[in-house]
Amino acid sequence: MAQLRIALAQVNPTVGDLAGNRRLVVESARRAAEEGAHLVVMPEMVVTGYPVEDLALRNSFVSASVRATRELAADLESAGLGETPVVAGFLSRREGRSGAGGHSGQPAGAPQNSVAVLHRGRVVLTSAKHHLPNYGVFDEFRNFVPGDTLPVVRVHGVDVALVVCEDLWQEGGPATAARVAGAGLVLSLNGSPYERHKDDVRLDLCQRRAREIGAALAYVNMVGGQDDLVFEGDSLVVDAEGELVARAPQFEEHLLVADLDLPEAHDPGPAAAPDGADGLRIVRHTLSGTPVAPYEPRRNTVTPRPDPLSDTGEVYQALVVGLRDYVVKNGFASVLVAVSGGIDSALVATIAVDAVGADRVHGLLLPSEHSSGHSVADAEDLAKRQGFAARTVAIAPMVTAFERASASADTPLSGLAAENLQARVRGTLLMAVSNQEGHLVLATSNKSESATGYSTLYGDSVGGFAPIKDCWKTLVWDLARWRNAEAERRGQVPPIPENSISKPPSAELRPDQLDSDSLPDYEVLDAVLDAYVGTDKGEAELVFAGFDRDLVRRVIRLVDRAEYKRRQSAPGTKISSRNLSRDRRLPITNRWTV
Amino acid sequence: MAQLRIALAQVNPTVGDLAGNRRLVVESARRAAEEGAHLVVMPEMVVTGYPVEDLALRNSFVSASVRATRELAADLESAGLGETPVVAGFLSRREGRSGAGGHSGQPAGAPQNSVAVLHRGRVVLTSAKHHLPNYGVFDEFRNFVPGDTLPVVRVHGVDVALVVCEDLWQEGGPATAARVAGAGLVLSLNGSPYERHKDDVRLDLCQRRAREIGAALAYVNMVGGQDDLVFEGDSLVVDAEGELVARAPQFEEHLLVADLDLPEAHDPGPAAAPDGADGLRIVRHTLSGTPVAPYEPRRNTVTPRPDPLSDTGEVYQALVVGLRDYVVKNGFASVLVAVSGGIDSALVATIAVDAVGADRVHGLLLPSEHSSGHSVADAEDLAKRQGFAARTVAIAPMVTAFERASASADTPLSGLAAENLQARVRGTLLMAVSNQEGHLVLATSNKSESATGYSTLYGDSVGGFAPIKDCWKTLVWDLARWRNAEAERRGQVPPIPENSISKPPSAELRPDQLDSDSLPDYEVLDAVLDAYVGTDKGEAELVFAGFDRDLVRRVIRLVDRAEYKRRQSAPGTKISSRNLSRDRRLPITNRWTV
């Protein structure tokens, strides 16, 4: 056996910030060296940030990534860190074949989602992701060409195989090749977006693959937000029997250091021929053939997972990180939220305060003639509990001006037109304050509203980011209750007024209006919505699954008819396995109704 | 040689309207039979409409398509049309393998973009598209699994090979297989979206492929709009030497009938073994081995292309059809446009009148205190020339109400905030009238505005459809001039006031404002924009291409910073090779600036 201390750098890169991302790598390597690590592993495409989408098709961007990776190797060497190999993801291109255009069935310039081994000032080995995900939010067949090698690097006498993200999730390919290659350790570099419950699936998968390959497996994932996506970290190490030996926290930057006992490499026999490696060519490179001198290992850290009750807490954390990074990475100094006294805006404001601090959150109270007294009181209470600034602007004068103007043009407004008008006056005020003062406006729409179309386009849906757009209304309540309970547990004032949580939901667009006037109970509605939106089931399958036929028909109709509104909605943090944006791509013009 | 009369049905299917699409096929077959055709060819996925996007992942939808195709064969038989083979595209699934989920690297349920041969009441043969486009607007790796056969059907003694759309564009695969199979005629079923100049490329390609394969080639394409896409038809037939022998008009439903002299099939020798067919299995089916009795062929029709000057006219037609189908297929009775007296809204209103008729177009004049007298006069003139109803609502009272309310909340509006406010008051009025009366609001943004972000989110960008969103400002002027010239050519009143075309462009959001105050001349701007947006060039390459460095930097910065606005914009007809929607997928959070 050979000992090895590895460091998994769970960092937060920014798309396009190649200089900043390089600094992240050097800083991680420095800390890893201080911890005595023999090998440092960074996440997928850490040099460019991830996902880069169509930036991968720009030759200048690919060249910059290749150059930055080369310079990074030199940076590490000049910082005195060159002896410790660093494995990092970057954007590269397939060399030696014609960089044909899209029409030949592959992206122009043959970009690849690659991994590099940096050692003694040089890029000593590169390889590319083999299995390219092209489902859900991923478009990797559009942006990359697949790799066809499995790199195996001998580090201090241990054969270390390198795979990228999806390579681990798919049967065959790199996982099989790593077994054939007789790897003693597999490093998996990831940019794996958060979804509820994915951490359980991830651990199971790593355990299964380690046993299949017969090698220890180190999984490193990035943290932080990138538009709709948030990465949760949860980097971990399992041994060859699949036992969890080290695990990093979720949603925090972290350097996970683990001491491992690994099989010493022997020269590969004829069984390791490329033919046996599921079509992949095994590429070997020796950095150091001799195991490190025996040392006293430290106790590995397994960060405890939250108990089962706090799945909600995990979602809450994801929303905070997703919003914070959208604000910070896009250079906003502050955010603006219309607080109505209702639960959606109360939760969004609370997430915002947790994300960027109360001094960077601004509230607008925009009461109408239909707003109840408790709405204003609840919104004021919310701002006071959390200490963010709030201003009040009554919308009646604008609403009246629009109504008069419309009537004078022989178009008196009534019904839905009058209700939507109020929402749009509020949207216009929000945007005016935003334009004047530079805040990012946060939209307060939840997923139930967005799915059914029960929101006003250019009204309550305005905003540059929609923190809870992937949360069903029932989850919105759960999150609010969880956050208040968490405050109580810590001996703090619950941030959300109880009344905002417990009162019956209402948009207050007409006197005594309640959501339940036009929608079924949210427990029932969300269950049908989740089954329709979250799967590919149609009417018959939903009825077979036990839902009421009339309700199913109504929900399908509502959801399908609101597609045009969703196309114009702001991005927001994905927390489910299927959000209403890139996870679900449906035509607007669509007569299919069952 | 064997004679064959083929009919290419250039029809306009609707996504999801399986019953309506079936009727289209039967009606085409009836007309083809009346014309004495021996073979009828329908476009790609005519049964379901195209593209269906993630509807392909719904089992119930795939099953409905398979069932509808079977019933279609029976419909044809009972209509007395069963003897004439009909080749039609439909959505199917790969049978006989497990319908694994996305994680195995293929879409759930193994859906396929398929072609069926219908004869004597039965589906006698099916096959699936082999080359799946996954670039530009296409996501076919997400939605389909590729086929692995090349079907060759013997019809009246002629071996007819069937390929689907992209199969023809890619080297190798079906095109090679058709040559190996010794086909005498290749049928290509298409859903090929319009792009400027694509008709020239298409003809060249068909000619080249016909020569390579050594067989006549019949290309059938659908017409009509589907969200962002518009299909132009342009169905055509070339002989084995690549000579154009028949061509249908663009943008119109049409049955193109052509008489062909084709080589009589002989039984394939060992050279036609599957191994030689570029990995595809050749599947042969004989419907009738005997050539038709000799008959007097008719003269084939080659619809003349417009002369070189009317590339602009072709774009105009595309915009009319794209808008018309969005309105009609989504069930709107009428449209609403804010007419400002400027060129963008004048062109949009004119396209709308040409698309749905003046009685279904409603104009709103929304002058502000900064609107010049000629603006109102030009807008009124526009409505009068075209005979659509127009109402005037001065926006000052609403603007004043907002300004007072903002000031009273210690947020007096100035600069950009005040300018945007006017645009948003207009947007709110448009939406109010739309909600009250049921019109579809048309956004008037052009591509130059959308690219640079010189439009107001929730202001002039409001609308359910944006007819000119893929047209640079310079093209907007060209289109207006073309439309006026076309009217003059026909002895009609030019629909667009000359003043709207010739005056310097201005958003009139402050006194004496001109676009040229903040933007370079549109000729210069559009050239840089087209080079940056239309290609994957970065700063250095654009400068190398001859553009001024400061201008390039400014344009890149403007375009990149406006990505968040484009995410919230309405769909609109794609006419370029790269629109600002699905053709170009870039992160919002992006620090890459060169």
Tens-place pLDDT, residues A3-56: 999 999 999 999 999 999 999 999 999 999 999 999 999 999 999 999 999 999
Inter-chain touch A590–B16, beta carbons under 8 Å: yes
- To the nearest whole Å, the CA of B434 is away from the closest chain A CA by 8
Angle formed at CA A396 by CA B371 and CA B463, multiple of 5 degrees:
50
Assembly ipTM: 0.95
pLDDT for residue A170: 85
Inter-chain touch A536–B414, beta carbons under 8 Å: no
**Measured distance between the N- and C-terminal CA atoms of chain A, rounded to whole angstroms:** 61
Let me know: does A66 contact A111? Beta carbons within 8 Å. no
User: Which residues on chain B are in Cβ contact (under 8 Å) with A462?
Assistant: 457-458
Using DSSP, how many helices (H) and how many strands (E) does chain B show?
Answer: 18, 19
What order of strands is seen across the sheet that includes strand A440-441?
A389-392, A361-365, A335-338, A440-441
Residue A95: pLDDT band with limits 50, 70, 90: confident
CA separation for the pair A398, A358 (Å, rounded):
29
CA separation for the pair B589, A478 (Å, rounded):
30
Q: Give the residue on A whose Cα is nearest the Cα of B365.
A: A409
Residues of A with catalytic roles: 44, 129, 165
Let me know: does B291 contact B2? Beta carbons within 8 Å. yes
Q: Give the residue on B whose Cα is nearest the Cα of A58.
A: B536
Let me know: does A468 contact A347? Beta carbons within 8 Å. yes
Inter-chain touch B405–A393, beta carbons under 8 Å: yes
pLDDT for residue A594: 87
Inter-chain touch B424–A421, beta carbons under 8 Å: no
User: Which residues on chain B are in Cβ contact (under 8 Å) with A393?
Assistant: 405-406, 408-409
Mean per-residue pLDDT, A417-439? 97
Inter-chain touch B457–A431, beta carbons under 8 Å: yes
User: Which residues on chain A are in Cβ contact (under 8 Å) with B437?
Assistant: 411
- To the nearest whole Å, the CA of B158 is away from the closest chain A CA by 31
User: Which residues on chain A are in Cβ contact (under 8 Å) with B401?
Assistant: 397-398, 400-401
CA separation for the pair A458, A568 (Å, rounded):
9
Tens-place pLDDT, residues A198-241: 888 999 999 999 999 999 999 999 999 999 999 999 999 999 99
Q: Indicate the pairing of strand B86-93 with strand B111-119.
A: antiparallel
Residue A100: pLDDT band with limits 50, 70, 90: very low
- To the nearest whole Å, the CA of A135 is away from the closest chain B CA by 6
Kindly state the DSSP code that residue B235 receives in the 8-state scheme. -
Q: Which of A15, A427, A568 comes nearest B570 by C-beta?
A: A568
User: Which residues on chain B are in Cβ contact (under 8 Å) with A45?
Assistant: none
pLDDT for residue B102: 44
pLDDT for residue A271: 52
pLDDT for residue A272: 52
| Spatial CA neighbour of A237 closest among A161, A301, A172 | A301
Tens-place pLDDT, residues A443-479: 999 999 999 999 999 999 999 999 999 999 999 999 9
Cα B266 to chain centroid, rounded: 40
Inter-chain touch B59–A404, beta carbons under 8 Å: no
pLDDT for residue A309: 57
Q: Which of A55, A57, A401 comes nearest B401 by C-beta?
A: A401
User: Which residues on chain A are in Cβ contact (under 8 Å) with B60?
Assistant: 537-541, 594
Q: Give the residue on A whose Cα is nearest the Cα of B434.
A: A417
Residues of B with catalytic roles: 44, 129, 165
Beta pairing partners, B153: B160, B285
Inter-chain touch B589–A432, beta carbons under 8 Å: no
Q: Which of A109, A398, A464 comes nearest B564 by C-beta?
A: A464
Cα A69 to chain centroid, rounded: 25
Q: Which of A395, A411, A591 comes nearest B436 by C-beta?
A: A411
The H or E element containing residue A160 is: strand A158-164
Q: Which of B171, B424, B588 comes nearest A571 by C-beta?
A: B588
Global pTM reads 0.96
Per-position DSSP letters for A121-154, written without gaps between them: TEEEEEEE-SS---STT--HHHH-----EEEEEE
Residue A305: pLDDT band with limits 50, 70, 90: confident
Inter-chain touch A401–B400, beta carbons under 8 Å: yes
The rounded average pLDDT for each run of 10 residues, N- to C-terminus, in chain B (594 residues) is 97 98 98 98 98 97 98 98 98 73 70 98 96 95 95 97 91 87 96 91 95 97 98 97 97 98 82 65 95 97 80 96 98 98 97 98 95 91 98 97 94 94 97 97 97 95 97 98 95 97 88 85 96 95 96 97 97 97 97 92
| Spatial CA neighbour of B473 closest among B452, B451, B448, B492 | B448
Let me know: does A16 contact B538? Beta carbons within 8 Å. no
Residue type, B419: E
Q: Which of B51, B429, B570 comes nearest A402 by C-beta?
A: B429
| Spatial CA neighbour of A72 closest among A105, A47, A38, A37 | A47
pLDDT for residue A308: 57
Inter-chain touch A536–B54, beta carbons under 8 Å: yes
From residue B364, alpha-carbon distances to B394, B432, B456, B473, B477 in Å are 10, 12, 18, 22, 22
pLDDT for residue A274: 53
